[in-house]
Structures are given as C-alpha cells and as structure tokens.
Structure 1
C-alpha cells in the first residue's frame, strides 16, 4: 500500500504502510473477520467441527459419563412402564432436564428415539434414578447407531399422508392417553 498524498514525510519517499487490520470492502475482509471470530469463540471453550469449519460446538461427552458403556439395540426396554414414583429421586434434576432437552432436539432428525424421549420427558419435574437409567439407555442406543437418521428419496409425487394413533388412557397413574402422529410428504417422513 502506498502512502496517501500529503501523508509522505519529507525525506521518507519510497516507504510503504503496513496494514494491521483488514478494511471494509476488501476481498480478504470476511476471512480476516472469521479468523478473529474463530480465535475468540475457541477461547470460550468451543470446538470447530472437522466436517464444516463454520460450525462450532461445546464438547459435552462427559455430560452423562456413559460413552464407554455397552451399546443397546433399542432406545427403551420393551414393556417397561415408568411412573412418577419409580424409586429414589435423581440427585441432579437440572442435568436430567438438560439431557432431555438435547435428546428432544435430536428427535428432529432421529425419529427412532422420539417415543422413548417422549416417555422420559413426562417426568422432568421430579425425575428418579430409574428415569435417568432410561435416558442412559437412549444414549447407549445412539452410540450403537450414530449414522441412522431420516433418509429422503424422490418418489416423484408430493402426496401428503397423515397417520395417528392413541392408546386410550394408557397411563396407569392418571388414565391419560398418549397420542402420536406422523406426516409423510412424497413418501418421506417429515413430522
């Protein structure tokens, strides 16, 4: 970069300026900004994704301490009925709520765990050790099948199909019903 007219000091001709930060509108400005942003966000404990370098995440593998556990083949043990009075209260209800929230978010792309997560989310106000064990089983199932998800294929139609089901007072504690539904668009599950 050459010195602007009128800025050149007497006897200092032929010298250049060194630009210390990027200027708005330059081709490299976004890259420089993202480099600085990456440094700052990583100082706060975030990690950069190896797949997409614009995605940052906070490592939470120690949230449950179950990463070394044996993987399960199902997200929930069949014919197990959880109730609100299932044993001793869990010692950290906030941790339970955080994990249920994370799993609830994950059901958007993993419908195979949606039923199990809906069952354990019914006990967020007063979780017990048995409810926590059910959450750990979901995590162990996810460890076994990390690549499963929703697969969309082109069936060459946009037909909408909806299905619903209810268990008609299936809860033994308060006789409430549990209802579920699924919506297919073009033969692909969307909800």
Structure 2
C-alpha cells in the first residue's frame, strides 16, 4: 500500500505495520472497488454508466459481460476462450478461485436447460423456515390474507423486535427471485421501527405461503423475443395512516419477467387518475433505464413499448393534457410520460381490470384472482416442499 501524504519515504525492504486489518478501515471497500475496476478497464472492459456493477467488452468477433459484487464475480460471453483469458488475468492479479459454470451465486441457485435458465432461492427459503421453526407448518395459498391493510401500533408491541427486523431483512433479499411476495414484503418493511403482534402474524402468514412453494422462481426462455411490455397500476389512498397510494409495475422481455416493483408514493394523490399517472411516470423511468442497459449490450428494443393499465383517465391525460382540474397538482417531472409518448418511446394502452398483472404488486388479493394472475407472470416451480 502507499503511505499517506505527510509520511517520510521508508527504506527499501521495509513494510508498514498495520494496527488493524485492512478490512476494518473505513476506506477499504472504496479502495478495493477503485483498484478492481481500474484493472478491469485496463483489460479492455467498459463500466456501464447505468449499472456500475456491470462491465462490458465488445469486439468484432465476441462479447463479454462481467458482474461484480465486492469480490464475487460472474462472467459470461459468446466465446469460451475469452472467458478463460479473463479468468487467467484476474488469477494473476488476485489468485482467484474459478468455480466453473454458475450454479449458486449469492444465494441464488441457477439451473440451465436447453429451453432456458431458471433462477430460484429454494435453499435460502428453507433456511429461513428452519431458523423460524416453521419447516413443518401448514402452507397457505396466498402471501397475505385477502384485503389485509397493516397499520402501526395495531396490537401489542413485540418483546423481541430484532427478530422481526432480521426476518424482514431476509425477505427483502428474497425479492430478487420472488416477485409474488413483493407487495407483502413492502408492507411488512414499513414497521421495522416498532413492530407489533399483527405485523408478526402477517409475516408468519407469508412464511406459510413460502412453505408451499419454496422452489418457485424466474424462468428466462432462450428463444424469447426482444419486445418489452409493461403493466402498471396504483392502489389509490390505500395506506390507512398516510392515505398515500401504492405504485406497482412489472415489465416483461418477451414472455420473461424482467423488472418489478412495489412502492408507496411520496405524496398524497387527490384522485385515482393522479395516482395512476404517478405510477405511469415511475414505470416510464424504469423502461428508460432498461432501454439504456439494452443499448450497452448493443441490443435494439422495438418501439413504442406497450404500457398497459386499467385506468382510462390516465390514458386521456397522456394523449391530451388539458384536464387542468386533474393535472394541475402533478409535479413537473411527472410529465416525462408526455415527452416519451410524443417521442415514440411508449404507447399507453387500456386493458381490462381482470388482466392487470400489476394488481399483484398493489394489494392483497383473494386466492382465486391471485392464482390466476400469478400463473401469467411466467414463474416456474420444479417441485413442492413435502408437507
């Protein structure tokens, strides 16, 4: 390591004696990231401006992509020889361990078939159930009781709130491959400060749902089309405490689910049309980000991208923004939707309420409609956990 400014140069053959580990220093992670990224750039990789963990290398005959998480690296490419060259280069620098084809990465299990790639977190789910003592519990068919709306201070305070916080933290990481629990985890995460018995009961209900489908995960088809399709929805004034609306969206690449989110809106909407329009703005921003990533991969996304919703008023505002009584309370940045519509990036379209997949991300549904919409997300389950 280099000595900080102000220290005299040391004689040749001398080393610095550290009083604490490098991993304990505040700047250790920043310095490691700077050094590692510099070595990748020196090898010819380009760091994506839209995802700083992604590094790409394009040549006339091949393509390489590299994703890093601290010191864990996932490499893919069109030429096996180029991947081996990258491994050799990193091994000379850091003495790495090559684990071969990816099967387990940061808790995500990867299964490859001739028809596509399957991502799931079955082991992670079973570990959670084991730690909570619920491995033998009775499964449920929905992630939340139908119509449930959690509130703060509903029930007696938990004597061990840290147990609830650890559980929700693990469930947040599970969202990576389980879009079906996104809404319930978002609801549970609002009460980390002072959880009550009702919040704990809801989290146990979610674990019972996971018990019934631990191996469910995302399936990405090999021969899928490159067309993006987005569904968005908003549950107007659904929060009983703040009366803020909940935004939910999901975006498909062909038939494969690519991106999804559930988030409470930052301001109170005065009408359902305003809530839907804010959800539309959030979805458009996500679509723009995905299109930028596609450009990094040199992939052309057909435009305009369909935006499917079940609110006719929001579509009218996009096409003809003269409904002053409904739009005067919207922030200026929400009109990014109008700009992208005029540029031909997105095409908002009306669909029936029963076909709105984004309902899964905005409210607690009954078993029938929940199963129907969930079957359309393209999730796959290899086998169920024995009861």
TM-score range, shorter chain: 0.5 to 0.7
Q: Give the number of equivalent residue pairs.
A: 142
Distance, in Å, in 2 between the alignment partners of 1:65 and 1:178 is 32
1:76-97 deviations in Å (ceiling 9; x for gaps): 1101121002110111111111
Tell me which residue corresponds to 2:218: 150
Flag the structure with higher strand content.
2
Flag the structure with higher helix content.
2
Distance, in Å, in 1 between the alignment partners of 2:145 and 2:197 is 15
SS at match of 1:79: coil
SS at match of 1:165: strand
Q: Structure 2: where are the runs of 5+ without partners?
A: 1-90, 100-108, 112-122, 260-387
Whether the 8 Å CA contact 2:156–2:196 is kept in 1: the answer is: yes
Choose from 124, 133, 139 the match for 1:71.
139
SS at match of 1:166: strand
Choose from 166, 172, 180 the match for 1:104.
172
Q: Structure 1: where are the runs of 5+ without partners?
A: 1-24, 35-48
Whether the 8 Å CA contact 1:75–1:113 is kept in 2: the answer is: yes
Whether the 8 Å CA contact 1:159–1:187 is kept in 2: the answer is: no
Tell me the TM-score normalised to structure 1 length: 0.66
Residue 142 of structure 1: how far off its partner (Å):
0.8
Distance, in Å, in 1 between the alignment partners of 2:138 and 2:224 is 41
Choose from 175, 187, 192 the match for 1:124.
192
Tell me which residue corresponds to 1:44: none
Distance, in Å, in 2 between the alignment partners of 1:181 and 1:98 is 27
Pair 1:83-2:83 in alignment? no
Residue 189 of structure 1: how far off its partner (Å):
0.6
Distance, in Å, in 2 between the alignment partners of 1:156 and 1:80 is 37
Distance, in Å, in 2 between the alignment partners of 1:158 and 1:168 is 32
State the Cα RMSD in Å: 2.8
Tell me which residue corresponds to 1:181: 249
Whether the 8 Å CA contact 1:163–1:182 is kept in 2: the answer is: yes
Distance, in Å, in 2 between the alignment partners of 1:178 and 1:30 is 44
Residue 182 of structure 1: how far off its partner (Å):
0.9
Pair 1:115-2:162 in alignment? no
Whether the 8 Å CA contact 2:129–2:211 is kept in 1: the answer is: no
Residue 100 of structure 1: how far off its partner (Å):
0.6
Residue 61 of structure 1: how far off its partner (Å):
4.7
Which structure has the bigger radius of gyration? 1
Residue 187 of structure 1: how far off its partner (Å):
2.3
Distance, in Å, in 2 between the alignment partners of 1:60 and 1:160 is 34
Distance, in Å, in 1 between the alignment partners of 2:248 and 2:136 is 33
Whether the 8 Å CA contact 2:229–2:253 is kept in 1: the answer is: yes
Distance, in Å, in 2 between the alignment partners of 1:90 and 1:157 is 49
Choose from 144, 159, 173 the match for 2:227.
159
